[in-house]
Amino acid sequence: MNILNTLRILGGLLMFLAAALLVPIPFALYYHDGTSTAFLLAALISLGTGAVMFKALGAPRELSVRDGFAIVTFGWTLYAIFGALPFTLSGAIPSFLDAVFETMSGFTTTGSTILTEIETLPQSLLLWRSLTQWLGGMGIIVLSLAILPMLGVAGMQLFKAEVPGPTADRLKPRIQDTAKCC
């Protein structure tokens, strides 16, 4: 397993998360809910950590299947940790562990929550909570396959590690043909 290459790709995924963390800021400013600083700080922390991992760890290399599984596993973990920052930094969920649980619940689309009155959250945090569920529904790693070419990495190993169901060799160029063969 190539640890440096794996860390480099995880850094790229964190930079993608930083961009997603910027989406609720205009809503926080519009609703004056006081969370714009929390989102900006969370995005800067994610971007800084991701940029250091991405730039400091050398040129991309070919991924093995083991690398793909490591990226998927640690990608979910890092997304839950860094995605929990807005909840904690804003004070809406004071316990970091509870915030990580809430974020992981969103990214995995399990529907579990630690919140008793969800509607009392600021509007921008409700949007972020919804975005975690949307990104999770899309499949974080599958969605990131769109940015992997920019990272200089082929994504088939990540695809195999993330996507259940038909194997990659049974996929057809058109979705209809894939559905028919499986």
- Among 101, 105, 100, 107, smallest CA distance to 85 is for 100
Token readout for 50 is 């991701």
Q: Tell me what percent of the chain is helix, strand and coil, each rounded to the nearest 5.
A: 70, 0, 30
Q: Break the chain into its structural domains and give their ranges.
A: 3-181
Question: Where does the pLDDT of residue 76 fall: very low under 50, low under 70, confident under 90, or very high at 90 and above?
Answer: confident
In terms of Cβ atoms closer than 10 Å to its own Cβ (0-12, 13-18, 19+), residue 176 is exposed
Give the model's pLDDT for residue 177: 47
- The single residue listed with the structure tokens 């930079």 is 15
Angle, helix 3-22 to helix 36-56, in steps of 10 degrees:
160
Residue 176's pLDDT is what?
43
Residue 22 has pLDDT above 70, yes or no: yes
Return d(Cα 155, Cα 147) in angstroms, integer: 10
Q: What is the mean pLDDT of the chain?
A: 81
Rounded CA-CA distance 67/63 in Å is 6
**By the 8 A CB rule, do 104 and 132 touch?**
no
- Residue 168: other Cβ atoms inside 10 A: 10
Contact (CB, 8 A) for 4 and 51: no
* pTM score, whole prediction: 0.76
Q: CA 47 to CA 13: how far, in whole Å?
A: 10
Name, in order, each residue with C-beta under 8 angstroms of 103's C-beta and a sequence gap of 6 or more: 79, 80, 81, 83, 84, 87, 132
Mean pLDDT, residues 79-89 taken together? 96
